Amino acid sequence: MRYLKEEELELASRYLFLSMALVVVQQDRNHIEKGRFKIKEHYLELLGKMEYEARVERKELRKKMDRQKLQVMQVGKNDSFTSFLFLAHGYEEKRNYFNPAIRKKVENILFELMQKALRPSPQYKEKNA
């Protein structure tokens, strides 16, 4: 039975997958720092901006979730599916996600973060206008 409203599910899901994307960015940063890249500063700068954007958004999502008394946690995982428990209004709702679908959602969020990170900053526009 569904206990979560659509907007609550979207909010908690975005928080969940954004958190996963943040882990990927941090892991990629570590790989680049330890890797054999000739010039790594540009990649690290991009990943740093992506991490910043993700943290800012996740902080806002967390505030909204706290106000609505929403929680989400992983409760199980196997080769094909990962299970998450969504808690809202004293109810629990368990949802299973196909692992390749999770990967695709995280990839899409990474792409969004990259686009945000690559936007020219307002200061840059003012200097060159």
Instruction: Name the least confident of 15-19, 40-44, 62-66, 124-128.
Output: 124-128
Task: Grade residue 128 by pLDDT with cuts at 50, 70 and 90.
Answer: very low
Which amino acid does the sequence have at 39?
I
Mean pLDDT of the chain: 91
Q: In the Cβ-directed half-sphere of 52, how many Cα atoms lie within 13 Å? A: 10
In a domain, residue 1? The reply is no
Q: Give the whole-number percent of the chain exceeding pLDDT 90.
A: 80
Range of 80's domain?
6-128
- The predicted-structure confidence for 75-98, as pLDDT tens digits, reads as follows 999 999 999 999 998 889 999 999
Q: Which helix (H) or strand (E) holds 14?
A: helix 6-34
- pTM of the prediction? 0.88
Q: What pLDDT was estimated at residue 28?
A: 95
The DSSP string of 79-118 is: SSEEEEEEEETTEEEEEEEEHHHHHHHHHHHHHHHHHHHH
**Bigger pLDDT: 114 vs 128:** 114
Please, which residues have CB within 8 angstroms of residue 4's CB and are 6 or more apart in sequence?
12, 86, 88, 91, 93
Q: What pLDDT was estimated at residue 4?
A: 85
The tokens describing 86, both together, are 């969504």
In a domain, residue 66? The reply is yes
Domain count, the chain: 1
In a domain, residue 82? The reply is yes
Q: Give the whole-number percent of the chain exceeding pLDDT 70.
A: 92
